[in-house]
Structure 1
Amino acid sequence: MIGSLYTRVVLTFLVSVIGGTIIAFFAATWIFQDELNENLQITLLDFGQDIVRIYETLPLREAEMFISEMKQLNSYHIRIYTATDQFQSYGEFSGHHPFPVTTEQVKKVLDGGRAQVNGIDTIFLGLPIETEMGSRAMFVEPITPSSTSSLIKFVVTFLVYSLLAGSLLILISAMFLVRPIKKLTKATRRIAGGDFNVKLNIKQKGELGTLARSFEEMMRDLQQLEQMRREFVTNVSHEVQSPLTSISGYAIALKQVDLPDHERNCFLDIIITETARMSKISDSLLKLSLLESQTSQMRLTTLSLDEQIRRVIVAIQPQWSARNIQFELDLQPAKITADHELLNQVWTNILGNSIKFSKEGGRINVRIKQDIKNVTVCISDWGIGILPEDQKRIFDRFFKADRSHSQKYEGSGMGLAIVKQIVSLHQGDIRVESEYGRGTTFIVILPITTPAV
């Protein structure tokens, strides 16, 4: 029970407030004790000196009669000692016990001295009196509690009720404070169990509200990651299952003894092709994993972007010349700081897709534009285009936009996912503009200077 946040919040508050209150109480009492008693000391001294003057002015009997009838005896108690053990008192305490007077104090006053006691609960004054019958010692003590004592009792009573009211309020407020955290705890357990359909309904502002909103964003991200994971497993299984099925089937066929040589060679070629396809899928997955984890450190150099694109076009000449595709180049000279090998793969993948999905004898346009901060590369073709609903997922791994021609156009669906990750590592952006049946344009925006990763 003590381990719960609610209990700990309440106990921490109570301990802090009670401890601070006690310390503050004693500190204030110690600091202001003399100041609180000062007025009563002055009043007590004035009253005692008045009694002394009465004895000095009137005969002893008249003075005693006068004092016994004084109205001030409702507030003061007077003891007049003729010897150390003989005294006459005036006034009644009404249940209050008088302050004990010691023999030493009586002797001191009889000898003409003064005795005074100042405490939190007691103020006591002793003065000498000269009468015609000799010296006497008078001790005056307030009957009503001192201002200090009354104030202390008031403060203590006030603090007790304040603590009780404050404790009740903190119990209620802590309940509202802890409730969102309990909701977050329950939501965390449900998410850990694989349930992402959790609604917090926390409308508070401040730090708790920010925490709740951040938690909801994290929950949505986890839900998307879980969906991506499931799709990834499904896609990998599908992509790998197809070549494995082909390899298995043709390997079984090769076991036939009377198989003609030309069919045997044909089956072996298919097995080799499917094996290469699996190897390519595995290599693409590994490369994308390294790029996403950024364990592959970029080797930044200053390169001529227009010259790099020209070299890539020349390198893939067998692909576009076999289909009679023409290139239109508008390459403004541009130098950027980037990883040469990674960017080389970007242009190879994008241009390879443009060639693959262009019509026989088609045309591909490549343009470079540069401003103060960025370089923009636009690669346009007039091929089959991409459906609007597919354009949002074109950079997802294993996604193939042209599903109706998936057998006609070979590929694992990993190329554009790798391109997207490489561009992101360079702090750039890539987007696609396409109209189905009329062509596609890939727009790559790269900063002139890429921050080191």
Structure 2
Amino acid sequence: MIKSLYARIVLTFLASVAAGITIVYFVANGLFTKELNETLQSSATAFSRDLVRIYETLPFDEADALVSQMNQLPFYYVRIYDETGLLRSYLPPNGPPIAAVTPEQVRQVVGGEMYRNVPQSPDQFVIGLPFQTARGTHALFAQPIYPTSSLLAKWILTILAYSFAAGSIFLLIAAPFLVRPLKKLTKATKRLAEGNFDVKLDIKQQDELGTLARSFEDMARELNQLERMRRDFVSNVSHEVQSPLTSISGYAKALQTIDLPDRERKRYLDIIIAESDRVSKMGDKLLKLALLESQPHPLQTAAFKLDEQIRRVIVACQPQWSAKNIRFELDLPAVTLTADQDQISQVWTNLLGNSIKFSPEGGTIAVSIEQGAKDVTVRIADTGIGIAPEDQKRIFERFFKADRSRNRRQSGSGLGLAIVKQIVSLHHGGIRVESEPGKGTTVVVTLPQPPPHA
């Protein structure tokens, strides 16, 4: 099997051209042979009649002299007979074999009849015409020797052969330009396999190869971005896990001290338990995020009261906001939403948890619902520390923490908003953040509202 694309292109072209030449030859030969033969026979008949008129009009010797000077004569075999035999013949040196004329055919024409044969080969056509002179009745036989169907076939083959040769030379020159982009793609594929995603093919073609090259570059960029995300993910997970594991290891070693007071021992155990819970919760969130990102992810949709769900989540968070004397302002009209109830509840739990966590003592959190014709909008606004503009685009990334200095004192893995973003996306909704540092943060969640019959 031929492995080179260049060789396959050349051989495919040559095979296609050869097949095309064969088909064209037979089609042209079949279409034009009959028409050409009829044209040649008609021309030969007309030329023979012209000769007959010359011999009938002029004396025999003068007619001979005139006929011998005719420009058309080299394209015919011309023979003149009388009752006794052959009188004159004009036989050019080149041409097909001379068709035989029998004495019976001569007698037939001398007797006043026209003769036309039915030849096996078109170039053996002969026409015989009688004519009268002062010397008596004569018979003129003419056989055309100018282009016949065999010569036409030769012309067709010659033209097609030259076309085949010219096309082959052109393809041999052009094929490398066709194969060059594929060679670039092959090299780029090897670089991708080696882990080098910085690929630029620089292919400007606008055809299918150009489209393939641009798609390949887009794929390389996507893979490069995914690789950066993978490295960041591994780094973040290692960092987030290392901190509690260090605390657990350190306090576990401290517990080995024999004369450690009971009060200190209890405090160390509480820290170990808290850090263990932190690692466990991080693992649960990573698993949940992985499940949400798996495709396809089934949604257990059902109709439920959205306003009642948000109230239940607020009540469930009471220990957290009561400890900070946070006040809630609610504008929750009755709204029915069709969605995955458990997942949407997780959205409000994460968002309200963040608002409570970053709100100051005695702060306010406002929650409102606005129902539109095609969607439902939920706003959760707090009076917390706010988010810097450069961080607002990244807060939905895994492990990203906007206020890093504050987060050192706040528990959290940076996965909550990533989970929220994924849940909202699965519901074909949208989420955005409006915030200014020191002036609080407003999270706006928009969920599609299907018609009542859905």
Give the alignment's TM-score, normalised by structure 2.
0.86
Q: In the alignment, which residue of structure 1 is the partner of 2:35? A: 35
- Mean Cα deviation higher: 186-195 or 312-321: 186-195
Instruction: Quote how far apart the aligned CAs of 1:131 are.
Output: 9.6
- Mean Cα deviation higher: 214-223 or 336-345: 214-223
Distance 2:335 2:90 in 1: 110
Q: In the alignment, which residue of structure 1 is the partner of 2:112? A: none
Q: In the alignment, which residue of structure 2 is the partner of 1:352? A: 353
Q: Retained in 2: the 8 A contact 1:128–1:137? A: yes
Residues 342-373 of structure 1: CA deviation (Å, up to 9, x unaligned): 00000000000000000001000111112111
Q: In the alignment, which residue of structure 2 is the partner of 1:436? A: 437
Q: In the alignment, which residue of structure 1 is the partner of 2:67? A: 70
Question: Where do residues 327-346 of structure 1 align in structure 2 (5 Å cutoff)?
Answer: 327-346=328-347
Closer, same or farther: CA 88–116 of 1 in aligned 2, 3 Å: farther
Closer, same or farther: CA 74–203 of 1 in aligned 2, 3 Å: closer
Distance 2:95 2:147 in 1: 13
Distance 1:370 1:335 in 2: 10
Closer, same or farther: CA 284–111 of 1 in aligned 2, 3 Å: farther
Closer, same or farther: CA 135–116 of 1 in aligned 2, 3 Å: farther
Residues 362-397 of structure 1: CA deviation (Å, up to 9, x unaligned): 000111112111111111111111122221110111
Distance 1:309 1:119 in 2: 100
Give the match's secondary structure for 1:427: coil
Q: Retained in 1: the 8 A contact 2:77–2:98? A: no
Letter in 1 for 2:77: H
Q: In the alignment, which residue of structure 1 is the partner of 2:161? A: 160
Distance 1:46 1:274 in 2: 115
Q: In the alignment, which residue of structure 2 is the partner of 1:141? A: 143
1:14 to 2:23 alignment: no
Q: How many residues end up aligned between the 2 structures?
A: 440
Question: Where do residues 291-330 of structure 1 align in structure 2 (5 Å cutoff)?
Answer: 291-330=292-331
Q: Retained in 1: the 8 A contact 2:198–2:221? A: no
Question: Where do residues 186-225 of structure 1 align in structure 2 (5 Å cutoff)?
Answer: 186-225=187-226
1:366 to 2:362 alignment: no
Instruction: Quote how far apart the aligned CAs of 1:127 are.
Output: 3.2
Closer, same or farther: CA 108–262 of 1 in aligned 2, 3 Å: farther
Closer, same or farther: CA 316–415 of 1 in aligned 2, 3 Å: same
Give the match's secondary structure for 2:171: helix
1:276 to 2:277 alignment: yes
Give the match's secondary structure for 1:36: helix
Distance 2:233 2:186 in 1: 30
Question: Where do residues 247-286 of structure 1 align in structure 2 (5 Å cutoff)?
Answer: 247-286=248-287
Q: Retained in 1: the 8 A contact 2:78–2:91? A: no
Closer, same or farther: CA 370–168 of 1 in aligned 2, 3 Å: farther
Question: Where do residues 409-428 of structure 1 align in structure 2 (5 Å cutoff)?
Answer: 409-428=410-429
Q: In the alignment, which residue of structure 2 is the partner of 1:109? A: 105
Q: In the alignment, which residue of structure 2 is the partner of 1:26? A: 26
Q: Retained in 2: the 8 A contact 1:298–1:339? A: yes
Give the match's secondary structure for 2:230: helix
Distance 2:120 2:192 in 1: 69
Q: Retained in 2: the 8 A contact 1:123–1:146? A: no
Q: In the alignment, which residue of structure 1 is the partner of 2:92? A: 93
* Structure 2: 5+ residue stretches without partners: 109-114
Q: Retained in 2: the 8 A contact 1:77–1:89? A: no
Q: Retained in 1: the 8 A contact 2:396–2:417? A: yes
Closer, same or farther: CA 108–243 of 1 in aligned 2, 3 Å: farther
* Structure 1: 5+ residue stretches without partners: none
Closer, same or farther: CA 70–387 of 1 in aligned 2, 3 Å: same
Instruction: Quote how far apart the aligned CAs of 1:232 are.
Output: 0.4
Residues 193-236 of structure 1: CA deviation (Å, up to 9, x unaligned): 11122222222224333333322222221111000000000011
Q: In the alignment, which residue of structure 2 is the partner of 1:239? A: 240
Letter in 2 for 1:232: F
Give the match's secondary structure for 2:394: coil
Closer, same or farther: CA 244–137 of 1 in aligned 2, 3 Å: farther
Residues 4-33 of structure 1: CA deviation (Å, up to 9, x unaligned): 333323332332233113212211211221
